[in-house]
């Protein structure tokens, strides 16, 4: 078994026959498309770092199936240390790329399925877990990128799947044969979809008995017949098509999302991991969501970049010694490190499941993600405050390179001695990118809605908190008898 290099990963994508649309036209060469390419570069970093000796411990692991060295993104967590290293890996890659590197969703899907397929087999006598383990070994041996696909369009959210006017608003099984199943529907907001070798589909919510056709989980090659990708737009995305890179801010990396449409796609039985077991659909959603909420250690890494950019902008402006600037930088660091505390805590408090897979502590994972929905917005606000209004009023790179007006920009946007105008423009564009541009999708909006909306985490927090234990502690300290009061345990 050998892990792919970044170059081998890029070559593997060129072999895929994906059906991808953007701006109303089909894209024949996804890998070299200037808008998509930066997102591919970000995934490639997960391969590049795995081959660097200084990152080997974080980026790789030992397969519990084969005993061989594998990329950690294809690993099933075997102990608490694996969960801690996952968080450290996410922060490292967030700092290296300044964006979403797109492999966490697939990793979290693999780990959730390793638990739930085992539990289903034990409870129902099914044979999903052996299928899954065979699939997992294939993923590990190929060092493949998996897109975890959970979110359905949902249609009218007041109605369950089987009562939707259009039944395709949730992905469903439309036919079963001796060879497999046929599915129809779509998965929305799929991060890194066209940079993936495989798509792992899961139900998006707890299904009831009437919604049995929607309780389905399976995996397919990304270029399976009948799958179409429609690329999502991002703010400032067409800047990547312009001459020069300065206005992009992050000149190397980026992310992407897509709507993935399944038009009567065939799935062989050996790639089906749930089919109608509604009683386990909610458990799969919960396990995946808990893992993925821990994965937002990546936002800490991106926060590192934004804090560094804000500090640099202050220094370029000659304002770094101002007390209010120093206080804002301290506040940004405090918020960012608090996020890091959350993802490490839910890892450290994790426990082993019956399948042998280690899972995060669900309550702390949801608390961590709830903080992620808030703190990056405040960090971004402070960064914009420090950067100043020039961040959004800068002329374009084309104007800066102009023989006519370029010298005027050079003259009037110079700052302290030793700092070039171009360097100042570059750091301001990076802050713009992280807080308003293409990277803001992966840093801000994804912080809000990724791994479920803020309300989803609040619901889980309410379920997980042991209020009776808290009440008993309070009553005991002030001498209230257990029989007193109306609210009894």
Considering only residues 31 and 485, tell me which one the structure prediction assigns the higher pLDDT: 31
Q: What average pLDDT does range 110-122 have in this prediction?
A: 98
Q: For residues 167 and 185, give the distance between their C-alpha atoms in angstroms, rounded to a whole number.
A: 8
Q: If we measure between CA atoms, which residue out of 73, 200, 78, 182 comes closest to residue 131?
A: 200
Q: For residues 35 and 23, give the distance between their C-alpha atoms in angstroms, rounded to a whole number.
A: 11
484 pLDDT band, cuts 50/70/90, is confident
Look up residue 329 and give its two tokens.
């930088």
Q: What average pLDDT does range 73-91 have in this prediction?
A: 97
Choice among 75, 77, 292, 368 that is catalytic: 292
Percentages helix, strand, coil for the chain, rounded to the nearest 5? 55, 15, 30
User: What mean pLDDT is reported for the chain?
Assistant: 95
Burial (CB < 10 A; 0-12, 13-18, 19+), residue 69, is middle
What is residue 164's three-state secondary structure? coil
Residue 476 is predicted with a pLDDT of 93
Q: Tens digits of per-residue pLDDT, 289-313?
A: 999 999 999 999 999 999 999 999 9
Q: Tens digits of per-residue pLDDT, 198-235?
A: 999 999 999 999 999 999 999 999 999 999 999 999 99
Q: What average pLDDT does range 37-62 have in this prediction?
A: 98
What are the residues facing 185 on neighbouring strands? Answer: 262
Choice among 46, 191, 362, 435 that is catalytic: 191
Radius of gyration for the chain, computed over Cα atoms and rounded to the nearest angstrom: 24
For the chain, helix (H) and strand (E) counts, in that order, are: 19, 14
CA atoms within 13 A on the CB side of 282: 8
Q: For residues 147 and 194, give the distance between their C-alpha atoms in angstroms, rounded to a whole number.
A: 9
Residue ranges, comma separated, of all CATH 2.40.110.10 domains in the chain are: 6-280
* Residue positions counted in the chain: 489
Given a cut of 60, is residue 167 above it in pLDDT?
A: yes
Considering only residues 485 and 59, tell me which one the structure prediction assigns the higher pLDDT: 59
Question: Residues 425, 428, 434, 435: is their CA dihedral positive or negative?
Answer: negative
Burial (CB < 10 A; 0-12, 13-18, 19+), residue 436, is middle
Residue 483 is predicted with a pLDDT of 75
pTM of the predicted model as reported, rounded to 2 decimal places: 0.94
Choice among 118, 296, 358, 443 that is catalytic: 296
Residue 489 is predicted with a pLDDT of 46
Given a cut of 90, is residue 487 above it in pLDDT?
A: no
Q: For residues 160 and 172, give the distance between their C-alpha atoms in angstroms, rounded to a whole number.
A: 13
Q: Tens digits of per-residue pLDDT, 388-405?
A: 999 999 999 999 999 999
Q: Tens digits of per-residue pLDDT, 171-181?
A: 999 999 999 99
Q: What average pLDDT does range 136-163 have in this prediction?
A: 97
Q: For residues 272 and 220, give the distance between their C-alpha atoms in angstroms, rounded to a whole number.
A: 9
Given a cut of 90, is residue 441 above it in pLDDT?
A: no
Choice among 275, 298, 343, 346 that is catalytic: 298
Residue ranges, comma separated, of all CATH 1.20.140.10 domains in the chain are: 294-471
Q: Domain 6-280 in CATH: superfamily? A: Butyryl-CoA Dehydrogenase, subunit A, domain 2 (2.40.110.10)
Q: If we measure between CA atoms, which residue out of 349, 364, 284, 296 comes closest to residue 110?
A: 284
Choice among 100, 146, 275, 346 that is catalytic: 100
Question: Which residue is associated with the tokens 């808030």?
Answer: 374
Q: If we measure between CA atoms, which residue out of 234, 194, 240 comes closest to residue 28?
A: 194
Report the range of poorest mean pLDDT among 19-23, 104-108, 125-129, 457-461: 457-461
278 annotated to bind ligand: no
What are the residues facing 60 on neighbouring strands? Answer: 71
Question: Which residue is associated with the tokens 């100042």?
Answer: 424
Q: For residues 476 and 473, give the distance between their C-alpha atoms in angstroms, rounded to a whole number.
A: 5
Q: What average pLDDT does range 441-468 have in this prediction?
A: 89
The kind and range of the H/E element at 4 are none
CATH (residue range 294-471): 1.20.140.10
Q: Is 127 a catalytic residue?
A: no
Q: Is 298 a catalytic residue?
A: yes
Q: What average pLDDT does range 107-135 have in this prediction?
A: 98
User: If phi over 0 gives left and psi between -120 and 50 gives alpha, with beta otherwise, what is residue 196?
Assistant: beta
485 pLDDT band, cuts 50/70/90, is low
The answer to whether 399 and 302 have CB atoms below 8 angstroms apart is no
What is residue 53's three-state secondary structure? helix
DSSP label at residue 325: H
The answer to whether 332 and 285 have CB atoms below 8 angstroms apart is no
Q: Is 446 a catalytic residue?
A: yes
Q: Is 104 a catalytic residue?
A: yes
Residue 452 is predicted with a pLDDT of 84
Q: Is 422 a catalytic residue?
A: no
Given a cut of 60, is residue 472 above it in pLDDT?
A: yes
């Amino acid at each position: 078994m050998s892990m792919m290099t970044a170059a081998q990963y890029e070559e593997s994508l060129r072999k895929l026959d994906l059906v991808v649309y953007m701006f109303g036209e089909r894209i024949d060469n996804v890998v070299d498309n200037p808008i998509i390419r930066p997102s591919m570069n970000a995934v490639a970093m997960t391969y590049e770092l795995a081959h660097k000796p200084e990152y080997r411990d974080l980026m790789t692991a030992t397969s519990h199936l084969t005993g061989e060295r594998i990329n950690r993104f294809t690993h099933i967590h075997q102990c608490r240390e694996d969960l801690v290293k996952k968080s450290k890996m996410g922060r490292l890659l967030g700092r290296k790329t300044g964006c979403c590197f797109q492999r966490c969703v697939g990793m979290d899907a693999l780990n959730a399925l390793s638990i739930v397929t085992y539990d289903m087999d034990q409870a129902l006598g099914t044979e999903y877990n052996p299928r899954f383990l065979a699939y997992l070994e294939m993923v590990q041996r190929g060092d493949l990128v998996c897109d975890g696909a959970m979110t359905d369009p949902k249609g009218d959210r007041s109605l369950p799947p089987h009562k939707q006017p259009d039944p395709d608003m949730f992905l469903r099984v439309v036919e079963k044969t001796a060879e497999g199943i046929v599915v129809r529907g779509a998965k929305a907001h799929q991060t890194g979809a066209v940079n993936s070798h495989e798509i792992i589909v899961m139900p998006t919510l707890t299904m009831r008995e009437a919604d049995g056709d929607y309780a389905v989980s399976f995996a397919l090659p990304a270029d399976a017949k009948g799958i179409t990708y429609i690329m999502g737009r991002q703010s400032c995305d067409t800047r990547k098509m312009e001459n020069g890179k300065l206005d992009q801010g992050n000149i190397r990396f980026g992310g992407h999302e897509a709507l993935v449409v399944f038009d009567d796609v065939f799935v062989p039985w050996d790639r089906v991991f749930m089919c109608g077991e509604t009683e386990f659909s909610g458990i799969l959603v919960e396990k995946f969501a808990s893992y993925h909420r821990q994965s937002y250690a990546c936002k800490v890494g991106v926060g590192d970049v934004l804090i560094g950019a804000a500090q640099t902008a202050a220094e370029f402006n000659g304002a770094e010694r101002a007390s209010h600037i120093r206080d804002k930088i301290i506040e940004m660091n405090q918020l960012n490190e608090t996020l890091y505390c959350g993802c490490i805590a839910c890892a450290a408090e994790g426990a082993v499941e019956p399948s042998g897979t280690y899972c995060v502590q669900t309550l702390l994972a949801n608390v961590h993600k709830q903080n992620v929905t808030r703190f990056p917005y405040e960090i971004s606000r402070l960064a914009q405050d420090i950067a100043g209004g020039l961040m959004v009023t800068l002329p374009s790179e084309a104007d800066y390179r102009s023989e006519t007006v370029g010298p005027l920009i050079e003259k009037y946007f110079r700052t302290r001695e030793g700092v070039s105008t171009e360097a100042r423009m570059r750091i301001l564009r990076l802050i713009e990118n992280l807080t308003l541009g293409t990277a803001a999708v992966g840093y801000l909006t994804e912080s809000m809605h990724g791994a479920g909306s803020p309300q989803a985490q609040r619901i889980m927090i309410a379920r997980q908190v042991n209020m009776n234990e808290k009440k008993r502690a309070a009553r005991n300290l002030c001498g209230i008898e257990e029989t007193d009061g109306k609210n009894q345990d």
